Amino acid sequence: MNTAYLSLERHFARLSSLNDAIGILSWDKEVMMPSGAAERRAENMAMLEGLRHEILTAPVMAELLAEAGVDASGDAAPEETALWRSANLAEMRRLHKRATALPQDLVEAFSHAASRCEIAWRSARENSDFPTLLPYLSEVLRLTRAVAAATGDALGLSPYDALLDGFDPGTRQSDIDPVFTRLRAELPELIGSVLERQAALPAATPLQGPFSVARQEALGRVLMRQLGFDMTRGRLDVSTHPFCGGATYDVRLTTRYDEADFIPAMMGVLHETGHALYDMGLPSAWVSQPVGQAGGMTLHESQSLLMEMQFCRSGAFARWLAPHARTAFDLPDTATGWGAENLHRLLTHVQPGFIRVDADEVTYPAHILVRYELEKALIAGDLALADLPGAFNDGIHALLGLRVPDDRRGCLQDIHWPEGLFGYFPCYALGAMAAAQFRVAACEQNPDILPAVGRGDFAPLLGWLRQNVHGRASSATMPQILRDATGKPLGADAYLAHIRHRYLDRAPDA
């Protein structure tokens, strides 16, 4: 380790503070900001993004990166620390390379265009009016393609791989295609079998509300604590679209409430808590450094889906949850439908629908497959934006057999493309694959994990995750972490087996 490396640590610690500031401002934008401040906030965020880019691409950074070394010879640090420093330097170089690939004005233009497009999207979606969004989205796509081309040139990647790599370092289209090809081949039939099996069973009994927001929120907090969320280092709030954000030691998740049905908000909290536990479990010694950050979107989504889908919709957990949820709403044990089996039925109900974020885990990947093909074509220039609504609707029909009635429930439903996130969608489905693999490995390596979850005790699971995923941060790539933890590369096997086990075999703990 030399002084150049130490200087870099100081520069990146400043960037980490800037990231924290951006994190809190992003949270605030969704949760607190008054509507009249939207335009000004967009300018402020673009300025901070620009500042981040400026710091990362300052001439001193290139000089330090050229000089820096973390050769452990003659260094008093233990081998473990030397390895982390080495991984840290590699992460610094990767971030620097991505940043210097883009001129400052492109970064700011992209940020401005994305902010404006996001604002336009809100009303376009409400009015199901794709044409008014088109000019804004065209500008975002134009700039995204410029970003992808420039980044790809610098990294020696195709434009789409360059985008993917920004969300999920090391993941390539060539890793995704075989997994998604298999899903595309098996999913329609599997969905059909699941629906058939479900139809053969007596229908689940809906739970009778109303469920007051105050009690739903209290239940959410109980569950957050149960899973291991540290309430002194985070918050739970309300926003139109649930998310997990915030900053270092300040992890903030949101949900939205429906007084007629508490399940969506509760599952939203459990999902975001999965994300939050990952952020809270990153190693504190590296919290301000690139190597100390979470290892990309696929791993992040695997953590939320592991909690929400794999464990918290399991029969084992439903048995603990049923009486606790009932008590949270102050209902007597004679209340209809509050048995564990019925609750499990409600938690695992499958229903093809138009809206991705409302989809169950069986039909969810279909939504991603559609978006993945479309965004690859958009980036490649093979699909004109004006043709997007039709192509989107065709894709949904092919995989889910549904006719999309309007763009609000079609290509306008997601915020991601309008906010400039291309190459982001596939990570959702990859996360589902990874979550299934993690569950299998965790339960094999520690057979007490599932029984403990069945007692509402997530400590054994969290311990395994801390050691095998969270604590590794970005000290290795996602494929490496996944292989070390599960013994296998990322694939669809565990996911498909899980779906069959839970929805066709209907194993009671699954």
Which of 37, 77, 335, 357 is close enough to bind a second copy by CB under 8 A?
Answer: 37
CB of 52 vs a second copy, minimal distance in Å: 10
CB of 28 vs a second copy, minimal distance in Å: 6
- Residue 255: which H helix or E strand, with range? strand 250-255
Specify the residue, 13 or 380, whose C-beta has the smaller distance to a second copy.
Answer: 13
Among residues 9, 91, 272, 308, which one is catalytic? 272
Specify the residue, 58 or 185, whose C-beta has the smaller distance to a second copy.
Answer: 58
Specify the residue, 28 or 261, whose C-beta has the smaller distance to a second copy.
Answer: 28
Residues facing residue 487 across a β-bridge: none
Structure tokens at 335: 């209340």
**Is 21 an interacting residue with respect to a second copy (CB under 8 A)?**
yes
Specify the residue, 141 or 253, whose C-beta has the smaller distance to a second copy.
Answer: 253
Which of 3, 6, 32, 394 is close enough to bind a second copy by CB under 8 A?
Answer: 32
Q: Which of residues 219-278 bind a second copy (CB under 8 A)?
A: 230-235, 247-250
Nearest to 202 by CA among 339, 329, 316, 335: 339
Q: Which of residues 377-406 bind a second copy (CB under 8 A)?
A: none
The contact pattern for a second copy, residues 135-154, with x = CB under 8 A and - = no contact, is --------------------
Main-chain phi, psi angles of 245, to 5 degrees: -145, -145
Specify the residue, 57 or 205, whose C-beta has the smaller distance to a second copy.
Answer: 57
CB 381 within 8 A of CB 431: no
CB of 421 vs a second copy, minimal distance in Å: 22
CB 280 within 8 A of CB 229: yes
The verdict on whether residue 341 carries a ligand-binding annotation is no
Structure tokens at 277: 């536990």
DSSP state of 310: I
CB of 48 vs a second copy, minimal distance in Å: 6
**Is 111 an interacting residue with respect to a second copy (CB under 8 A)?**
no
Nearest to 300 by CA among 417, 424, 201: 424
Specify the residue, 108 or 261, whose C-beta has the smaller distance to a second copy.
Answer: 108
**Is 40 an interacting residue with respect to a second copy (CB under 8 A)?**
yes
Question: Could you give the angle at which helices 173-199 and 159-167 cross, rounded to 10 degrees?
Answer: 70
Specify the residue, 51 or 213, whose C-beta has the smaller distance to a second copy.
Answer: 51
Which of 2, 4, 11, 20 is close enough to bind a second copy by CB under 8 A?
Answer: 20
CB of 184 vs a second copy, minimal distance in Å: 43
The contact pattern for a second copy, residues 466-505, with x = CB under 8 A and - = no contact, is ----------------------------------------
For CA atoms 51, 54, 56, 60, give the dihedral sign.
negative
CB 288 within 8 A of CB 247: no
Q: Which of residues 174-213 bind a second copy (CB under 8 A)?
A: none
234-238: strand order across its sheet = 234-238, 250-255, 244-247
Q: How many residues in the shown chain lie near a second copy by CB under 8 A?
A: 33
CB 435 within 8 A of CB 310: yes
CA–CA separation, 96 vs 89, rounded Å? 10
CB of 462 vs a second copy, minimal distance in Å: 18
Helices (H), 58-172: 59-67, 79-100, 104-126, 130-155, 159-167
The verdict on whether residue 397 carries a ligand-binding annotation is no
The verdict on whether residue 112 carries a ligand-binding annotation is no
The contact pattern for a second copy, residues 49-68, with x = CB under 8 A and - = no contact, is -xx-----------------
Specify the residue, 14 or 97, whose C-beta has the smaller distance to a second copy.
Answer: 14
Helix (H, G, I), strand (E, B) or coil at 244: strand
- Cα radius of gyration (the chain): 23
126 given a catalytic annotation: no
CA–CA separation, 164 vs 149, rounded Å? 12
Helices (H), 306-356: 315-328, 340-347
CB 422 within 8 A of CB 375: yes
Which of 6, 47, 260, 285 is close enough to bind a second copy by CB under 8 A?
Answer: 47
CA–CA separation, 51 vs 18, rounded Å? 9
CB of 63 vs a second copy, minimal distance in Å: 18
Residues facing residue 238 across a β-bridge: 255
Residues in the chain, overall count: 510
Instruction: Return the range that interacts with a second copy (CB under 8 A); candidates 46-54, 220-228, 430-438, 441-449.
Output: 46-54
246 Cβ contact partners less than 8 Å away, ≥ 6 residues apart: 23, 24, 27, 234, 235, 252, 279
- Residue 235: which H helix or E strand, with range? strand 234-238
**Is 333 an interacting residue with respect to a second copy (CB under 8 A)?**
no
Binding residues for Zn(2+): 271, 275, 301
Binding residues: 271, 275, 301
* Catalytic machinery residues: 272
Residues of this chain that interact with a second copy (CB under 8 A) are: 14, 17-18, 20-21, 24-25, 28, 32-37, 39-41, 43-44, 47-48, 50-51, 230-235, 247-250
